[in-house]
Amino acid sequence: MNVTSPFPQESVNRDALGQWYKEKAMGRALTEQLSDALNNRLEQVFGYHMLVTGADIGLDFSRLGKTQRIFCLATRPSAAPGFQPVVGMSSELPFASDSIDALVLCHTLNVSPTPHEVLRECQRVLVPNGHLFVVSFNPLSLWGVGRWVNHLLRRKNLPAASSRKMRDWLALLGFSHGEPQYLAPLVPVGRGRLRAMITAIERWLRKQNAPIGNAYLIHGRKRVSARLDSGLNIIDKPRLIAIPLGKSQGGVTVPRQVKVKVDDPWGPQR
Protein backbone atom coordinates (compact mmCIF):
# COMPACT_ATOMS: atom_id res chain seq x y z
CA MET A 1 0.00 0.00 0.00
CA ASN A 2 1.34 3.42 -0.93
CA VAL A 3 1.19 5.95 1.88
CA THR A 4 1.01 9.55 0.80
CA SER A 5 2.73 12.21 2.84
CA PRO A 6 0.53 14.64 4.80
CA PHE A 7 3.18 17.30 4.08
CA PRO A 8 3.41 17.26 0.24
CA GLN A 9 5.52 20.38 -0.37
CA GLU A 10 8.18 19.59 2.19
CA SER A 11 8.24 15.96 1.09
CA VAL A 12 8.74 16.85 -2.59
CA ASN A 13 11.53 19.29 -1.77
CA ARG A 14 13.31 16.75 0.42
CA ASP A 15 13.18 14.03 -2.22
CA ALA A 16 14.42 16.35 -4.95
CA LEU A 17 17.31 17.61 -2.82
CA GLY A 18 18.28 14.08 -1.80
CA GLN A 19 18.41 13.08 -5.46
CA TRP A 20 20.55 16.13 -6.26
CA TYR A 21 23.06 15.11 -3.61
CA LYS A 22 23.34 11.63 -5.09
CA GLU A 23 23.63 12.63 -8.75
CA LYS A 24 25.65 15.86 -8.80
CA ALA A 25 29.38 16.16 -8.22
CA MET A 26 28.79 19.15 -5.98
CA GLY A 27 26.36 17.12 -3.88
CA ARG A 28 28.82 14.28 -3.40
CA ALA A 29 31.58 16.74 -2.47
CA LEU A 30 29.30 18.41 0.07
CA THR A 31 28.39 15.05 1.62
CA GLU A 32 32.05 14.22 2.16
CA GLN A 33 32.92 17.63 3.62
CA LEU A 34 29.81 17.79 5.81
CA SER A 35 30.58 14.32 7.17
CA ASP A 36 34.03 15.46 8.30
CA ALA A 37 32.76 18.77 9.70
CA LEU A 38 29.90 17.21 11.67
CA ASN A 39 32.09 14.40 12.93
CA ASN A 40 34.47 16.92 14.52
CA ARG A 41 31.61 18.77 16.22
CA LEU A 42 29.45 15.84 17.27
CA GLU A 43 32.43 14.28 19.03
CA GLN A 44 31.85 16.90 21.72
CA VAL A 45 28.13 16.18 22.06
CA PHE A 46 27.01 13.78 24.77
CA GLY A 47 23.44 12.87 25.59
CA TYR A 48 20.60 10.45 25.08
CA HIS A 49 18.63 11.73 22.08
CA MET A 50 19.60 13.26 18.76
CA LEU A 51 17.13 14.28 16.07
CA VAL A 52 17.98 14.59 12.36
CA THR A 53 15.58 16.46 10.08
CA GLY A 54 15.57 17.54 6.45
CA ALA A 55 16.85 15.89 3.31
CA ASP A 56 18.72 12.60 3.12
CA ILE A 57 22.12 13.84 1.96
CA GLY A 58 24.00 10.60 2.49
CA LEU A 59 25.40 11.21 6.00
CA ASP A 60 25.92 8.17 8.22
CA PHE A 61 24.86 9.51 11.60
CA SER A 62 25.19 6.10 13.23
CA ARG A 63 28.97 6.69 13.11
CA LEU A 64 28.77 10.33 14.15
CA GLY A 65 28.33 11.61 17.66
CA LYS A 66 27.92 9.86 20.99
CA THR A 67 24.18 10.06 21.60
CA GLN A 68 22.44 6.79 22.48
CA ARG A 69 19.35 7.15 20.30
CA ILE A 70 19.03 8.84 16.92
CA PHE A 71 15.63 9.86 15.58
CA CYS A 72 15.01 10.71 11.95
CA LEU A 73 12.06 12.94 11.11
CA ALA A 74 10.24 11.64 8.05
CA THR A 75 7.27 12.99 6.14
CA ARG A 76 6.05 9.46 5.44
CA PRO A 77 6.48 6.08 7.14
CA SER A 78 9.86 4.61 6.17
CA ALA A 79 12.62 2.33 7.37
CA ALA A 80 15.94 4.07 7.86
CA PRO A 81 18.92 1.93 8.92
CA GLY A 82 20.54 3.20 12.10
CA PHE A 83 17.65 5.59 12.78
CA GLN A 84 14.36 5.46 14.59
CA PRO A 85 11.99 7.10 12.07
CA VAL A 86 9.34 9.47 13.39
CA VAL A 87 6.63 10.83 11.09
CA GLY A 88 6.07 14.53 11.51
CA MET A 89 6.59 18.02 10.18
CA SER A 90 9.67 20.08 10.94
CA SER A 91 7.54 23.05 11.98
CA GLU A 92 5.54 20.87 14.41
CA LEU A 93 8.03 18.44 15.93
CA PRO A 94 6.34 15.48 17.68
CA PHE A 95 8.58 15.71 20.75
CA ALA A 96 8.12 17.10 24.24
CA SER A 97 9.75 20.36 25.25
CA ASP A 98 13.32 20.13 26.56
CA SER A 99 13.73 16.51 25.41
CA ILE A 100 16.37 16.52 22.62
CA ASP A 101 20.11 16.83 23.32
CA ALA A 102 21.24 17.52 19.74
CA LEU A 103 19.36 18.52 16.60
CA VAL A 104 20.72 18.50 13.04
CA LEU A 105 18.93 20.43 10.30
CA CYS A 106 20.06 18.97 6.97
CA HIS A 107 18.80 21.75 4.68
CA THR A 108 15.55 21.69 6.67
CA LEU A 109 15.27 25.47 6.40
CA ASN A 110 15.72 25.17 2.61
CA VAL A 111 12.99 22.59 2.07
CA SER A 112 10.44 23.81 4.62
CA PRO A 113 7.88 26.44 3.57
CA THR A 114 7.99 27.87 7.13
CA PRO A 115 11.65 28.15 8.22
CA HIS A 116 10.94 30.53 11.11
CA GLU A 117 8.51 28.07 12.65
CA VAL A 118 11.14 25.34 12.29
CA LEU A 119 13.66 27.31 14.34
CA ARG A 120 11.07 28.05 17.02
CA GLU A 121 10.35 24.34 17.32
CA CYS A 122 14.07 23.62 17.60
CA GLN A 123 14.29 26.07 20.48
CA ARG A 124 11.33 24.38 22.17
CA VAL A 125 12.44 20.74 22.00
CA LEU A 126 16.14 21.22 22.79
CA VAL A 127 17.28 20.76 26.37
CA PRO A 128 19.03 23.70 28.08
CA ASN A 129 22.49 24.04 26.53
CA GLY A 130 21.38 21.65 23.77
CA HIS A 131 23.23 21.65 20.45
CA LEU A 132 21.77 22.81 17.13
CA PHE A 133 23.56 22.19 13.83
CA VAL A 134 22.24 24.09 10.81
CA VAL A 135 23.23 23.00 7.30
CA SER A 136 22.04 25.41 4.63
CA PHE A 137 22.84 26.62 1.15
CA ASN A 138 24.68 29.90 0.82
CA PRO A 139 23.00 32.40 -1.55
CA LEU A 140 26.33 34.26 -1.94
CA SER A 141 27.98 31.45 -3.90
CA LEU A 142 27.99 29.68 -7.24
CA TRP A 143 24.88 27.86 -6.10
CA GLY A 144 23.34 31.26 -5.41
CA VAL A 145 24.21 32.42 -8.93
CA GLY A 146 22.42 29.40 -10.36
CA ARG A 147 19.45 30.14 -8.13
CA TRP A 148 19.36 33.71 -9.44
CA VAL A 149 19.45 32.45 -13.05
CA ASN A 150 16.60 30.05 -12.33
CA HIS A 151 14.65 32.94 -10.86
CA LEU A 152 15.11 34.91 -14.09
CA LEU A 153 13.92 31.88 -16.03
CA ARG A 154 10.94 31.60 -13.66
CA ARG A 155 11.97 28.19 -12.41
CA LYS A 156 11.31 26.93 -8.92
CA ASN A 157 14.03 27.60 -6.37
CA LEU A 158 14.74 26.51 -2.85
CA PRO A 159 14.82 29.42 -0.38
CA ALA A 160 18.14 30.19 1.26
CA ALA A 161 19.20 32.68 3.93
CA SER A 162 22.67 34.12 4.20
CA SER A 163 24.83 33.07 7.13
CA ARG A 164 24.51 36.58 8.62
CA LYS A 165 20.72 36.43 8.52
CA MET A 166 20.77 32.90 9.95
CA ARG A 167 22.87 34.06 12.90
CA ASP A 168 20.44 36.92 13.48
CA TRP A 169 17.55 34.46 13.57
CA LEU A 170 19.38 32.24 16.05
CA ALA A 171 20.28 35.16 18.30
CA LEU A 172 16.66 36.33 18.39
CA LEU A 173 15.61 32.89 19.60
CA GLY A 174 18.21 32.87 22.35
CA PHE A 175 20.90 30.72 20.75
CA SER A 176 24.59 31.34 21.13
CA HIS A 177 26.57 30.40 18.04
CA GLY A 178 30.03 30.26 16.56
CA GLU A 179 31.28 31.39 13.20
CA PRO A 180 29.86 29.53 10.18
CA GLN A 181 32.02 27.00 8.38
CA TYR A 182 31.76 27.37 4.61
CA LEU A 183 31.98 24.28 2.43
CA ALA A 184 32.61 23.42 -1.22
CA PRO A 185 33.34 26.88 -2.65
CA LEU A 186 34.16 25.49 -6.11
CA VAL A 187 32.69 22.75 -8.26
CA PRO A 188 35.20 19.94 -8.94
CA VAL A 189 35.22 19.89 -12.75
CA GLY A 190 37.71 19.15 -15.52
CA ARG A 191 40.44 16.58 -15.78
CA GLY A 192 44.15 16.31 -15.29
CA ARG A 193 46.00 19.51 -14.48
CA LEU A 194 42.86 21.66 -14.63
CA ARG A 195 41.06 19.55 -12.03
CA ALA A 196 44.17 19.44 -9.84
CA MET A 197 44.44 23.23 -9.98
CA ILE A 198 40.76 23.75 -9.14
CA THR A 199 41.02 21.24 -6.28
CA ALA A 200 44.06 23.08 -4.86
CA ILE A 201 42.25 26.43 -5.04
CA GLU A 202 39.16 24.90 -3.47
CA ARG A 203 41.16 23.51 -0.56
CA TRP A 204 42.85 26.84 0.00
CA LEU A 205 39.49 28.65 0.03
CA ARG A 206 38.13 26.17 2.57
CA LYS A 207 41.21 26.57 4.73
CA GLN A 208 40.64 30.33 4.73
CA ASN A 209 36.93 29.72 5.40
CA ALA A 210 36.08 32.01 2.49
CA PRO A 211 32.39 33.08 2.71
CA ILE A 212 31.66 31.94 -0.86
CA GLY A 213 31.09 28.28 -0.07
CA ASN A 214 28.04 26.73 -1.66
CA ALA A 215 26.84 25.61 1.78
CA TYR A 216 27.61 26.45 5.37
CA LEU A 217 27.39 24.81 8.77
CA ILE A 218 26.53 26.74 11.95
CA HIS A 219 26.77 25.26 15.44
CA GLY A 220 24.44 26.88 17.97
CA ARG A 221 23.58 26.19 21.59
CA LYS A 222 20.38 26.92 23.45
CA ARG A 223 21.17 29.49 26.10
CA VAL A 224 19.74 29.23 29.61
CA SER A 225 18.60 32.30 31.52
CA ALA A 226 20.60 32.70 34.71
CA ARG A 227 18.46 32.99 37.81
CA LEU A 228 19.90 34.54 40.95
CA ASP A 229 19.04 32.60 44.10
CA SER A 230 20.83 34.22 47.01
CA GLY A 231 19.40 31.89 49.63
CA LEU A 232 19.10 34.74 52.16
CA ASN A 233 16.31 34.71 54.71
CA ILE A 234 15.26 38.33 55.13
CA ILE A 235 13.75 39.15 58.51
CA ASP A 236 11.81 42.38 58.68
CA LYS A 237 13.09 43.93 61.87
CA PRO A 238 12.20 47.52 62.75
CA ARG A 239 15.13 49.91 62.94
CA LEU A 240 15.64 53.54 63.91
CA ILE A 241 16.19 56.40 61.51
CA ALA A 242 16.62 60.11 62.24
CA ILE A 243 14.01 62.58 60.98
CA PRO A 244 14.90 66.32 61.14
CA LEU A 245 12.22 68.53 62.72
CA GLY A 246 11.52 72.28 62.75
CA LYS A 247 12.30 75.00 65.30
CA SER A 248 10.80 75.23 68.79
CA GLN A 249 7.34 76.76 69.12
CA GLY A 250 5.64 78.42 72.12
CA GLY A 251 8.76 78.19 74.25
CA VAL A 252 8.73 74.37 74.03
CA THR A 253 12.10 73.01 72.94
CA VAL A 254 11.82 70.53 70.09
CA PRO A 255 14.77 68.20 69.48
CA ARG A 256 16.52 68.55 66.16
CA GLN A 257 16.13 64.83 65.38
CA VAL A 258 13.67 62.22 66.47
CA LYS A 259 14.30 58.54 65.94
CA VAL A 260 11.36 56.49 64.77
CA LYS A 261 10.87 52.84 63.92
CA VAL A 262 10.47 51.76 60.29
CA ASP A 263 9.91 48.37 58.72
CA ASP A 264 11.98 48.83 55.52
CA PRO A 265 15.04 46.55 55.92
CA TRP A 266 16.69 47.88 52.75
CA GLY A 267 16.27 51.64 53.30
CA PRO A 268 19.28 53.94 53.75
CA GLN A 269 20.70 54.25 57.24
CA ARG A 270 21.89 57.55 58.66
List, in order, residues 6 or more apart from 39 with CB less than 8 Å away. 63, 64
Per the DSSP assignment, residues forming a β-bridge with 176 are 221
**Cβ atoms of 124 and 100 closer than 8 Å:** no
pLDDT of residue 226: 44
Q: Are residues 96 and 62 in the same domain?
A: yes
Q: Give residues with Cβ within 8 angstroms of 253, minimum separation 6.
A: none
Q: Does residue 62 belong to any structural domain of this protein?
A: yes
Confidence of residue 193 (pLDDT cuts 50, 70, 90): confident
Q: Is the domain of 185 the same as that of 268?
A: no
pLDDT tens track for 14-70: 888 989 899 888 899 899 999 999 988 888 787 889 999 998 888 887 777 667 788
Higher pLDDT, residue 101 or 152 = 101
* DSSP alpha helix (H) spans, the chain: 8-23, 25-42, 108-111, 115-125, 142-152, 163-172, 192-207
**Could you tell me if residue 60 is inside a domain?**
yes
Average pLDDT over residues 103-115: 93
Higher pLDDT, 234 or 81: 81
Q: Is residue 263 part of a domain?
A: yes
The total of structural domains in the chain comes to 2
- Same domain for 176 and 247, yes or no, is no
Same-domain status, 96 and 65: yes
Task: Find the CATH number of the domain harbouring 217.
Answer: 3.40.50.150
Q: What is the DSSP letter of 12?
A: H
Whether 138 and 243 map to the same domain: the answer is no
Residue 227, domain member (yes or no): no
Q: In the structure, what pLDDT confidence band is assigned to residue 4 with cuts at 50, 70 and 90?
A: very low
pLDDT in the model for residue 60: 81
Are 179 and 245 within one domain?
A: no
- Cβ-count burial of 207 within 10 angstroms (0-12 exposed, 13-18 middle, 19+ buried)? exposed
Residue 229 lies in a domain: no
What integer pLDDT is reported at residue 230 of this predicted model?
A: 42
What is the tens place of the pLDDT at every residue in 160-181? 899 999 999 999 999 999 999 9
Average the pLDDT over each of 46-60, 136-150, 256-270 and give the range with the smallest value: 256-270
Same domain assignment for residues 188 and 263: no
**Average pLDDT of the chain, as a whole number:** 80
The fraction of the chain above a pLDDT of 70, given in percent, is 74
Least confident of 43-57, 109-123, 195-209: 43-57
In a domain, 230, yes or no: no
Same domain, 100 and 214: yes
Q: What is the pLDDT of residue 2?
A: 43
In a domain, 14, yes or no: yes
110 and 21 in a common domain: yes
Tell whether 2 is covered by a domain. no
Supply the range of the domain harboring residue 268.
Answer: 235-270
Do both 205 and 246 map to the same domain? no
Rounded mean pLDDT, 214-236: 69
Q: Are residues 268 and 195 in the same domain?
A: no
Whether residue 241 is found in the same domain as residue 164? no
